[in-house]
Structure 1
Amino acid sequence: MAGKRIAVVTGANKGIGFGIMKELCAKFNGLVCLTSRDESRGFAAIKNLSELGLQAQYHQLDIDNIGSIKKFADYMKTKYGGFDVLVNNAGILYKRDATEPFGEQAENTIRVNFTGTLNVCQGLFPLLRPGARVVNVSSASGHLLNINGSEPAASALREKFASPILTEDEIVSLVNQFVKDAEAGDWNAKGWPSSAYAVSKVAVSALTRVQQRAFDADPRKDIVVNSCHPGYVDTDMTAHKGPLTIEQGAVSPSYLALLPPDTDLRGVYIWHDKQVVDWVNGPTPSLY
């Protein structure tokens, strides 16, 4: 099946990921692969899509497991030779009433939301074909202004994240320092917010900019990566408090996944209404 157009969505068995699957199954000219950590839930989602008249393929993928990522990459290479769309949607969020120590929340959230996403990218980017589209699902929390701990330390952190010569290794170093500061209990004094989710998503947004610089120098032409805030959506992650439907939450990531050739949107951060947002200076638009 080499040459067949393929799209991949992580964490796609429910919520926004499932909404993205519905959009891509209806609009993408090719095969859409639904991935999830839990196989039974993944196959149930495939069945739900089928009942809606939408066809998709399933493959297990746990972004928190290097072995799972490698197995999926080997499968994609062997079966298809490459692919064309990657939507990095999988992630976790501790609720406001979570009782786990903040250091534990920080370690787990960074490991899954940032490191897991980075590992998926490192494992799958070599398989992207020319013209591929990558979408990193961020959040309103992923805007740089959410690095808002004590000043002037927070300003220094924002400057580092916003650097036009920032590297992947430097982002890794920054988030690792956040985890250490969270475990030590002095994260706010060091400039970090009291939200591990915000730090993880700021890191994903910053990573997007770094990745696009690399793709701009890649011999494979017209590979584009962007990040987005999908909106405050009615999902398990928001304890069903979000006012938007999963279909509305799928609008911006699906839009980025289906960008036409030679698009001007390269390494940008967009809102749920597809508006390009100034990630460095803000201000951010309305959450809804």
Structure 2
Amino acid sequence: MMTTAAGRVAVVTGANKGIGYFIALQLGVSGIFEHIVLGCRDVSRGEAALATMKPLLPSTVKASCLPLTIGDSQSHLSFRTKLEELLGPPAKVDVLVNNGAIAFKNSDPTPFTEQTKPTLDINFRGTVEFTETMLPLLRQAGKHTRDSRIVNVASQSGYLSQLSPELQQQFASPTLTMPELKALIDQFEKDVQAGTHISKGWSNSNYGISKLGLIAATKIWAREEATNQITVNASCPGYCDTDMSSHKGPRPPEEGAKNAVLPATMENPPTGEFFSDLKVRQW
């Protein structure tokens, strides 16, 4: 684990409850960050989360909350502006944990075709755009500390073998670019709307494809940002007892959070990997 906390900043999205809350808390108590910033869609809930978190943090650690709606371009830019004002020059972010996401419940009556776009817009497109908005601050940290990190909270639902062999080859290609990846995700949405996604080699899971896309994005950033001293990894918290699982998951959220905290804090982390059960796993 890293040992210096001086000036180190960690940002966690979707951090007012569940796994995101415990990721932020565990980063705060790790002793290697000076400032933890929670990105929350509902600031009042974020402030309530801070009120319970702050007594558990070392007195030297500052914790703040800023409004953030993943998938809203204006909110992404506003978050970065407010963050730069909060941190002061030269603003930098040492660790970004992309935890914010949505999942439709199995009991939700919304038709599958109508669940596709909102799931992709937040879990994949919004997360990618927000990360790209934050990259200048992460590169700034990488330039000074040579150790900046992105951790994307994905899922084992994003497993590669849910695709046809041809699509697997495209998603796993070591030369895949972000525009190509975005085009593949767009194609999945089009195929769902046309009712042809199964016959064209896709799985029948909007959530699974959104997280598969995020894992593929992780590998692209890992390649592209290596020269900027940024490591990029994905993690799966497991099936946790949270609102997202309707509290059916057997794993406590504080245990699931550790799968994101590990690549965010470990010494000499790998890059472009997928962590599950506190180990690097095959995608």
**Shared fold (TM-score greater than 0.5)?**
yes
* CA positional deviation for 1:76: 2.5
- Structure-1 residue corresponding to 2:27: 24
Alignment of 1:1-288 (within 5 A): 4-27=7-30, 28-53=32-57, 56-80=63-87, 81-128=91-138, 129-130=141-142, 131-147=147-163, 154-216=164-226, 218=227, 220=228, 222-260=229-267, 263-271=268-276, 273-279=277-283
Q: Which segments of 5 or more consecutive residues in structure 1 lack a partner in the other structure?
A: 148-153, 280-288
* CA positional deviation for 1:78: 3.7
* Structure 1 counterpart SS, 2:234: strand
* CA positional deviation for 1:264: 4.8
Contact 2:28 2:57 in 1 (8 A): no
**Distance in 1 of aligned mates of 2:29 and 2:236:** 22
| Paired residue type of 1:144 | L
Residues matched between the structures, number = 265
| Paired residue type of 2:11 | V
What is the CA deviation profile of residues 76-133 of structure 1, one whole-angstrom value per residue up to 9, with x for unaligned ones?
Answer: 3344311101000000001122221212111110001001100111100111111111
**Distance in 1 of aligned mates of 2:137 and 2:11:** 12
| Paired residue type of 1:274 | L
Contact 2:234 2:272 in 1 (8 A): yes
Q: Which segments of 5 or more consecutive residues in structure 2 lack a partner in the other structure?
A: 1-5
**Distance in 2 of aligned mates of 1:93 and 1:251:** 21
Contact 1:35 1:60 in 2 (8 A): yes
TM-score by length of 1: 0.88
| Paired residue type of 2:126 | G
* Structure 1 counterpart SS, 2:10: strand
**Distance in 2 of aligned mates of 1:48 and 1:144:** 38
Give the root-mean-square deviation of aligned CA atoms. Answer: 1.4
* CA positional deviation for 1:23: 0.4
* CA positional deviation for 1:259: 2.6
TM-score by length of 2: 0.90
Contact 1:133 1:257 in 2 (8 A): yes
What is the CA deviation profile of residues 14-51 of structure 1, one whole-angstrom value per residue up to 9, with x for unaligned ones?
Answer: 11001101101101331100111111111111111134
What is the CA deviation profile of residues 170-192 of structure 1, one whole-angstrom value per residue up to 9, with x for unaligned ones?
Answer: 11101111111111112111111
Contact 1:12 1:89 in 2 (8 A): yes
Q: Percent identity?
A: 39
* Structure 2 counterpart SS, 1:56: strand
